[in-house]
Amino acid sequence: MSAAVNRDLLLVNAAHPLGDTTPPPLAPATPETPHILLERRAAALLNALLDSVGGRGRIAAVSGYRSRSEQQAIWDETWAAEGPDFTNSYVARPGCSEHETGLAIDLGLLGDGELDFIRPNFPEDGVAGDFRRAAADFGFILRYPAGKEAVTGIAHEPWHFRFVGVPHSRRMAQLGLTLEEYLEELQNYSETKPLHITQGRYDFTVYTAPRRPRRLPSGYVQLCPTGGGCVVTAWR
């Protein structure tokens, strides 16, 4: 039996830099922003999420996929303009940015003038709040929540969302876990002692393998390298 391989749960931060800079298949994040790109599946689900909360024309994609050179330019320009403290808080070092995976999107609320590229306005209420509450149902998480700065190494960014896919997004939202914390939790589950998740009409089996497993569970299977192993997700 074969399995699909993706990078949905790939951990990228200062302690886990991105080695492979080859981008995944990309697509416009929204029809309104064809120059802002996102991993193809994430883009499709972002648009479905925007439609579900009435966000079309009210929420804008501000920044999606960035090449290594683009991330370097943003780092250098922000450092020169704002200084080291601001830059280290709000801009990931080149090679350590989720934007280089194509799985991260920065969003801003339209209608309040020009959007700040580094810190776009994305409030807790209104349509932005509706988006935030529905995000996990479409595979997205708020990547840098308040109170988790010591875990993520990044200041609270209410505008930055990361695609991790279902069922992981829903479980992370339910438990209030960051990606770092969720991957650590998954270390407790193995092929012989997997995590079982029921969501709607689907039954998921999730566990961490030390490397790409030779034997796969039954059902539809996805394999996701994380930097410290491989997360196996099967469902039927």
Give the residue numbers marked as catalytic: 157
- Residues 32, 91 contacting (CB under 8 angstroms): no
CA–CA gap between residue 131 and residue 124 (Å, rounded): 9
C-alpha 178/C-alpha 174 separation (Å) is: 11
Cα angle: 28, vertex 49, 197; to 5 degrees:
115
- What are the start-end ranges of the H helices in the chain? 40-52, 68-82, 84-90, 126-134, 149-152, 168-175, 179-186
CA-CA-CA-CA torsion sign (105, 145, 8, 129):
negative
Separation between Cα atoms, residue 49 and residue 47, nearest integer Å: 5
